[in-house]
């Protein structure tokens, strides 16, 4: 029995698309000759779809029954993570689904639980309109738009005949295949290279993934290869490709300003796309030799974010397999503006717990990172291999679930067991992207494990601890989740904790100051610690950073 396309099925479809694009990425990349022969169409579609799925999985409020909410999540993620011209186009297809499902839900006055053939056809047609609008109203025959138009027509005909969604999806894929095979007849550059349109081939992957999700059966499709490979022979007769691809999100921009920006970008280069995005913003794309001018033009039009400038090249890009833009990255979960700057300054990507999440005075920050948020951040690094430093802010079950999900998408994720930001800094200090991932992960884990650590808090109530009874205002020295020091204030607790941590020696002491310390208190404690280190531990170096983390007054690590 065919499966209804509800919110869960729509999310499962996105998972299947990611998996299938990984399978077909090399085939799609080899077909990529238009608008620039840079062999990255499959890569860009995969990265964009990963971003869409990560956003939908982040659980921004869309329940299983809310198909419009899931569609909105996919659309928002695709716009945020759109990569390249093909990624922008894919984001508009997903935006078409989101727009139509949202409108139907609004008209019905309630949740939209399933997408039928009529809604699906309207969504594809909406995608056609959005893509053409993003390109300034110009449609080039023989591209993904031609293939999408054929699929939309087939679905519309099925809907008019009262057919099921499954029948419509099957017919859409078959019509897309016919249209794809015709693309070389419509676009000379495809005929010269002996290829079909790469974006159209990617769209067929999306439609076949939907067929598999709904019916449980995936159709057999031909493998497309360039034949004859004459593109290099004819390349000298074509205009040289621009050097850069520039993309950014644009907010605070009206329609007139967007039109002016389109004209300016058209003067600077080609492949201009200004695509609609949620919340009255735009996703902007251009190929140009003057990346700076393209960014300046956007600054005139509105507020820019997520600016990406990539070098364009003909032929194979040399990027890692699987649609990633770098080989390896470190993702650190941190709390506090100072910690953000500290870890980012050492080259790590940063994920922060919910800044608005309240914590009780004197308590450690509540764990605020879910598996979905972790996957979202892993995808955003753009790396094929990611070393994750949880730093005590991710529950074990969320860490395992997030890393497992990312591994299923083709990311080589290595969670490094860091229980504190001081351990994270120790691990980050020995990170070497030149080593194999397993070697790098082991070395980082060994460094983290060798960093003895503890924290200092201020007691908020009278309680019995392993070190005796504490009262409000006392300084507590904590290691291994146990109170080992009870002192009159934070400075005295820090001194006692330092002595314990340095009992077996240590070359470097790292102290991170939390948000609970104001400037004067922080300076006073630092002065006390420096004097104590000078008198009692002269062979050890002390470094102090203002991280502004919540909860603990101090985090202390010894290496």
User: By C-alpha distance, which of 296, 246, 293 is closest to 274?
Assistant: 246
For residue 405, what pLDDT band results from cuts at 50, 70 and 90?
confident
For residue 9, what pLDDT band results from cuts at 50, 70 and 90?
very high
Same-domain check for residues 113 and 139:
yes
Same-domain check for residues 388 and 536:
no
Q: Residue 249 and residue 279: Cα distance in Å, rounded?
A: 11
Residue 382 domain-assigned?
A: yes
Q: Which range is least confidently modeled, 273-277, 452-456, 470-474? A: 273-277
Q: Residue 453 and residue 480: Cα distance in Å, rounded?
A: 8
Which pLDDT value is given to residue 218? 87
Residue 519 domain-assigned?
A: yes
Residue 80 domain-assigned?
A: yes
Residue 364 domain-assigned?
A: no
If one compares 178 and 401, the residue with the highest pLDDT of the two is: 178
Q: Residue 499 and residue 309: Cα distance in Å, rounded?
A: 50
Residues facing 469 on adjacent strands: 464
Angle, in degrees to the nearest 10, between helices 490-501 and 519-536: 40
Structural domains counted in the chain: 4
Residue 104 domain-assigned?
A: yes
Report whether 526 contacts 498 (CB < 8 A).
no
Residue 253 domain-assigned?
A: yes
Same-domain check for residues 67 and 119:
yes
CATH number of the domain residue 548 falls in: 3.30.1330
Residue 486 belongs to domain spanning: 452-558
Instruction: Tell me if the pTM is above 0.75.
Output: no
Percentage of the chain beyond pLDDT 90 is 37
If one compares 120 and 400, the residue with the highest pLDDT of the two is: 120
Mean pLDDT of 151-167: 95
Same-domain check for residues 180 and 40:
yes
- Say whether pLDDT at 319 is over 80: no
DSSP 116-162: -HHHHHHHHHHHHHHHHHHTTT---TTSHHHHHHHHHHHHHHHHHTT
CATH number of the domain residue 333 falls in: 3.40.50
Report whether 42 contacts 323 (CB < 8 A).
yes
Q: Residue 57 and residue 353: Cα distance in Å, rounded?
A: 17
Mean pLDDT of 125-132: 94
Same-domain check for residues 426 and 486:
no
Same-domain check for residues 419 and 335:
yes
Same-domain check for residues 144 and 183:
yes
Residue 442 domain-assigned?
A: no
Same-domain check for residues 148 and 95:
yes
Q: What is the pLDDT of residues 347-385, one digit of tens each?
A: 999 998 865 443 333 344 444 688 878 887 887 887 888
Same-domain check for residues 396 and 464:
no
Q: What H or E segment, with its residue span, contains residue 458? A: strand 452-458
Residue 549 domain-assigned?
A: yes
Which pLDDT value is given to residue 96? 94
For residue 23, what pLDDT band results from cuts at 50, 70 and 90?
confident
Same-domain check for residues 18 and 136:
yes
């Amino acid at each position: 029995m065919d499966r209804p396309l509800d919110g869960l099925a729509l999310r499962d479809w996105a998972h299947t698309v990611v998996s299938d694009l990984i399978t077909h990425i090399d085939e799609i990349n080899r077909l990529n000759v238009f608008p620039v022969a840079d062999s990255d169409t499959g890569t860009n579609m995969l990265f964009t779809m990963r971003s869409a799925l990560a956003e939908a999985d982040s659980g921004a409020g869309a329940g299983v029954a809310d198909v419009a909410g899931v569609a909105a999540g996919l659309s928002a993620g695709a716009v945020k993570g759109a990569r390249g011209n093909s990624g922008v186009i894919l984001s508009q297809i997903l935006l078409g689904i989101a727009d139509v499902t949202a409108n139907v839900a609004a008209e019905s006055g309630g949740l939209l639980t399933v997408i039928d053939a009529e809604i699906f056809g309207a969504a594809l047609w909406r995608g056609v309109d959005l893509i053409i609008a993003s390109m300034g109203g110009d449609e080039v025959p023989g591209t993904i738009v031609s293939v999408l138009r054929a699929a939309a027509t087939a679905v519309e005909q099925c809907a008019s005949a009262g057919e099921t969604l499954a029948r419509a999806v099957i017919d859409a894929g078959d019509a897309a295949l016919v249209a794809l095979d015709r693309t070389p007849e419509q676009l000379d550059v495809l005929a010269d290279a002996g290829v079909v349109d790469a974006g159209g081939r990617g769209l067929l992957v999306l439609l076949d993934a939907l067929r598999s999700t709904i019916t449980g059966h995936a159709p057999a499709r031909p493998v497309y290869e360039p034949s004859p490979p004459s593109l290099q022979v004819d390349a000298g007769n074509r205009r040289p490709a621009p050097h850069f691809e520039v993309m950014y999100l644009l907010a605070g921009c009206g329609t007139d300003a967007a039109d002016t920006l389109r004209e300016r970008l058209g003067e600077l280069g080609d492949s201009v796309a200004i695509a609609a995005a949620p919340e009255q913003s735009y996703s902007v794309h251009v190929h140009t030799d003057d990346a700076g001018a393209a960014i300046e033009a956007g600054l005139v039009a509105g507020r820019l974010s997520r600016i990406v400038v990539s070098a364009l090249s003909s032929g194979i890009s040399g990027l890692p397999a699987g649609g990633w833009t770098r080989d390896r990255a470190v993702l650190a979960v941190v709390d506090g503006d100072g910690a953000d700057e500290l870890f980012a300054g050492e080259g790590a990507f940063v994920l922060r717990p919910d800044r608005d999440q309240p914590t009780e005075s004197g308590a450690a920050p509540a764990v605020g990172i879910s598996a979905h948020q972790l996957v979202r951040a892993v995808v955003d690094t753009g790396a094929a291999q990611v070393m994750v430093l949880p730093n005590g802010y991710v529950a074990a079950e969320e860490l395992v679930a997030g890393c497992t999900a990312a591994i299923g998408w083709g990311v080589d994720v290595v969670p490094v067991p860091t229980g504190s930001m001081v351990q994270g800094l120790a691990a980050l200090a020995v990170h070497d992207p030149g080593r194999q991932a397993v070697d790098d992960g082991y070395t980082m884990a060994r460094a983290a494990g060798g960093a003895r650590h503890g924290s200092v808090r201020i007691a908020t109530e009278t309680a019995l601890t392993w070190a005796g009874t504490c009262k409000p205002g006392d300084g507590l020295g904590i290691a291994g989740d146990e109170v080992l020091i009870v002192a009159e204030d934070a400075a005295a607790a820090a001194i006692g904790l330092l002595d314990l941590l340095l009992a077996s020696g240590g070359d470097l002491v790292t102290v991170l100051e939390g948000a609970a310390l104001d400037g004067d208190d922080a300076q006073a404690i630092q002065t006390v610690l420096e004097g104590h280190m000078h008198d009692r531990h002269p062979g050890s170096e002390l470094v102090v950073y203002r991280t502004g983390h919540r909860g603990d007054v101090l985090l202390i690590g010894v290496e």
